[in-house]
Structure 1
């Protein structure tokens, strides 16, 4: 039987994360795992980079905040890999475990005493007028078609399936998953959606209309955004940006991969939401 593989990712800008990363590595080594880490941690942890791994990882450990999770998911190609996300800062929606609870959750995970919560993802591609199509790219939270920083109002047509929804004049059009409904979409006026609801949220960003509202559609639908003029950008999870030209078509649909989060505490989405609402200075639900 081949040796199991695990990788460690962390916000390497913060030295305080390395002590916990060493602790996680020690547990994994004692359990017989081959341990890898992100490229800029190899010297500190003394383990090979994740790019040297043989095949997909069996487990991934991510130390930081929600942004670190999104970065690791993409850079580490951790789609469909069980991820233990350890909160090292403020409360995050993607972070099940708290660093203060180490090593209790490590014992549970290495004993196989955990469950997997799968979160659906988005795939996005750009197709030009001559039929050329860019590579498919994935996002966990959202896909945003946004005007360039110096551009004017973006005008575009949005289609769901074979039917046009509307023509929008806005700074951008955001398509979010339920996981992403508590991120940028929420700030843009979108609804909070429980993560187990099978839908996408289409949210105009700073729409130039008093009556434009977010729209919730089934996640089996294909969404197409046809900008009427460029230059624009395609932004994935607020971290990766790609140019869009006039005449390009953005195609967004349910991805064939998912983000898999390890849960050991049975923490519900709504209990986390109540805590977050208090953090947002909203009276908590009793």
Structure 2
């Protein structure tokens, strides 16, 4: 007798209570032979604290929600080999593999183990106290943000790469992003999009009061350091993936580098990243000049059709008059 397969479904409490998609997903997984455990509340742990993980017999984690829900689900599979499949019930859903209307296809592919694995690199982050006596470590799939604790003042930061100070400035904060996170907050702040298979990290200053505040991209063997300067007008906050956060005191050093560990995303479509980029961001496939020419030709075609219809009506009217 074949044993039960085990899946974890991650969603929101209100979706579990109101969404037909969630109910249908559970029923389809159960019909496919899965024992399903539902997680509808993912309270983040504190910075540096461990989070609960899925049981060792879990085959897959299916997420019904948006990218934020997927980032929460990543805590459940951190340091495991269990893959995540995202089904988008949110807005952009960049990390999601399928949209909600494709639910049946997604569940069928999961049941048949008809998927590949997309390994996404994580960032390791450590925070060291001013006297060097205490270090707390955490990680991020998307990004690490360091921002001012007091919104009325700018924070003063010194940024270094591989032990060399590169710049210092007053700012609202900085974002350190993985390639996966380059389409999220980092993108909104003016950072470049980095393809997921590139082993790199980028740092983007937020509203920095300095002449040179361009994003910086470093390779897999380099690391960023961000020091909160002693005479900064405010202390800071650090936050990983918008979830695990901690206050930063004056003189604190934050170090970030690429981790050797990954989060495994189940990939069903095999669609290149570029296709997803164009679809999710609705990027224009033609230039403004080309679009203008196409619209002009469309208008010309409409006018030509209207003129032809008018001429046909006039011909019909003339033929009627001649017959009388």
TM-score (norm 1): 0.86
- Shift in Å, 1:139: 1.1
Q: Does 1:263 align with 2:267?
A: yes
1:121 aligns with 122
> Cα gap change, 1:256/1:198 in structure 2, threshold over 3 Å: closer, same or farther?
closer
1:236 aligns with 240
1:160-171 → structure 2 map (5 Å cutoff): 160-171=161-172
1:47 aligns with none
Please give the alpha-carbon distance, in whole angstroms, between the structure 2 residues aligned to 1:88 and 1:52.
Answer: 23
SS of residue paired to 2:121? strand
- Shift in Å, 1:247: 1.4
Q: Is the 8 A contact 1:17 1:88 kept in 2?
A: no
2:26 aligns with 25
Q: Does 1:253 align with 2:257?
A: yes
Q: Does 1:140 align with 2:138?
A: no
Please give the alpha-carbon distance, in whole angstroms, between the structure 2 residues aligned to 1:270 and 1:151.
Answer: 40
Please give the alpha-carbon distance, in whole angstroms, between the structure 2 residues aligned to 1:257 and 1:3.
Answer: 29
Please give the alpha-carbon distance, in whole angstroms, between the structure 1 residues aligned to 2:119 and 2:18.
Answer: 26
2:9 aligns with 8
> Cα gap change, 1:226/1:68 in structure 2, threshold over 3 Å: closer, same or farther?
same
- Shift in Å, 1:285: 4.7
Please give the alpha-carbon distance, in whole angstroms, between the structure 2 residues aligned to 1:234 and 1:88.
Answer: 28
1:103 aligns with 104
- Shift in Å, 1:116: 0.7
> Cα gap change, 1:52/1:60 in structure 2, threshold over 3 Å: closer, same or farther?
closer
Of the structure 1 ranges 251-260 and 262-271, higher mean CA displacement relative to structure 2 is found in 251-260
Please give the alpha-carbon distance, in whole angstroms, between the structure 2 residues aligned to 1:52 and 1:30.
Answer: 25
> Cα gap change, 1:121/1:85 in structure 2, threshold over 3 Å: closer, same or farther?
same
> Cα gap change, 1:78/1:29 in structure 2, threshold over 3 Å: closer, same or farther?
farther
> Cα gap change, 1:240/1:268 in structure 2, threshold over 3 Å: closer, same or farther?
same
Q: Deviations over 1:240-268 (max 9, x none)?
A: 32100011111212234322111111122
Please give the alpha-carbon distance, in whole angstroms, between the structure 2 residues aligned to 1:163 and 1:174.
Answer: 19
> Cα gap change, 1:17/1:91 in structure 2, threshold over 3 Å: closer, same or farther?
farther
The structure whose Rg is larger is: 2
Please give the alpha-carbon distance, in whole angstroms, between the structure 2 residues aligned to 1:17 and 1:266.
Answer: 32
SS of residue paired to 2:181? helix
TM-score (norm 2): 0.76
- Mark the runs of 5 or more structure 2 residues left unpaired by the alignment: 43-50, 288-324
- Shift in Å, 1:68: 1.2
> Cα gap change, 1:177/1:54 in structure 2, threshold over 3 Å: closer, same or farther?
closer
Q: Is the 8 A contact 1:199 1:219 kept in 2?
A: yes
- Shift in Å, 1:13: 3.0
- Mark the runs of 5 or more structure 1 residues left unpaired by the alignment: 42-49
Q: Is the 8 A contact 2:201 2:257 kept in 1?
A: no
2:60 aligns with 59
What is the alpha-carbon root mean square deviation over aligned residues?
A: 2.6
Q: Is the 8 A contact 1:277 1:284 kept in 2?
A: no
Please give the alpha-carbon distance, in whole angstroms, between the structure 2 residues aligned to 1:90 and 1:58.
Answer: 27
**Matched length:** 274
Please give the alpha-carbon distance, in whole angstroms, between the structure 1 residues aligned to 2:271 and 2:286.
Answer: 17
